[in-house]
Amino acid sequence: MIYWGDEKSSIDVNSSLSEKKEICETISSAIWADDIVALKQTHSNSGFHVSNLEKDKKFFTTEGDFLITQESDLGIAVITADCVPLVLHNLENQAIAIVHVGWKGAVTGIVKAVCTDALFSKNMDLVQAFIGPSALDCCYEVQKDFLEHFDEEIKEKCFVVRDEKIYYNNTLFIRIKLKSLGIFDRNIYTDYNICTICSEEFCSYRRDGKMARRNVTVALLR
């Protein structure tokens, strides 16, 4: 199960742990999760198996940007406000991962870091990928120096120019990486990949700046 959060169930990134916990408990009740685990996100390419986290380090205290588990009824979460929430599900061994993929994480290899984990790498043909609400190239404007972070292939495929302005497609970059790592295109689902900038249903840092809250995405196994 995947819960794609929106503005109505969002988190203030500067709120206390108790306030975050209250919102997550509401989400837990709605999706019948025993608990929700989340990291303190840093736009890195690192993460954890939930089983390797200490009990008191499972809720917005340990730094990282992806979580992996095989435990049923345990929600694993990321918060986003234009970055991509990515969920992977291995149908063979019933492992799931949730990934916070901003452009920095994408460039530094967070998708590869998750896909090469032992719980996913041995049978990528049986892995499904789900991409949630994020900034899309209809609105994700960048400056020319932004292109310096990408190789020529990605520049050609993932950027468009309209009215002398440059727009970036992080979702397409992620899809290219997923396919290069062995996930079939037919197993990559983008039904919920709605633009957070132009859809006011979702939180967006690029639209609302420092006032922006964070959408909560939760994945769990039944």
| Per-residue DSSP letter, 158 | H
Tell me what pLDDT residue 30 has: 94
Tell me what pLDDT residue 196 has: 98
CA atoms of 46 and 111, how far apart (whole Å): 10
- Low-confidence stretches of the chain (pLDDT < 70) are none
CA atoms of 3 and 217, how far apart (whole Å): 6
Calculated CA dihedral for residues 129, 100, 103, 134, nearest 10 degrees: 70
- H or E element that contains 193: none
Tell me what pLDDT residue 157 has: 96
**HEC assignment per residue over 76-104:** EEEEECCCEEEEEEECCCCEEEEEEECHH
Calculated CA dihedral for residues 21, 23, 24, 25, nearest 10 degrees: 80
Phi/psi at 66 (5° precision): -150, 155
pLDDT tens digits for range 150-183? 999 999 999 999 999 999 999 999 999 999 999 9
Strands 84-90, 127-131: pairing is antiparallel
pTM (2 decimals)?
0.96
Q: Which amino acid is at 125?
A: D
CB count within 10 Å of CB 165 equals: 10
Tell me what pLDDT residue 219 has: 98
pLDDT tens digits for range 185-194? 999 999 999 9
- H or E element that contains 27: helix 17-31
- Burial of residue 180, with CB atoms counted within 10 A of its CB: 0-12 exposed, 13-18 middle, 19 or more buried: exposed
Six token digits for residue 73: 């009824």
Tell me what pLDDT residue 165 has: 97
The structural domains of the chain, with segments of one domain joined by +, span 2-136+174-219
Topology adopted by domain 2-136+174-219: CNF1/YfiH-like putative cysteine hydrolases (3.60.140)
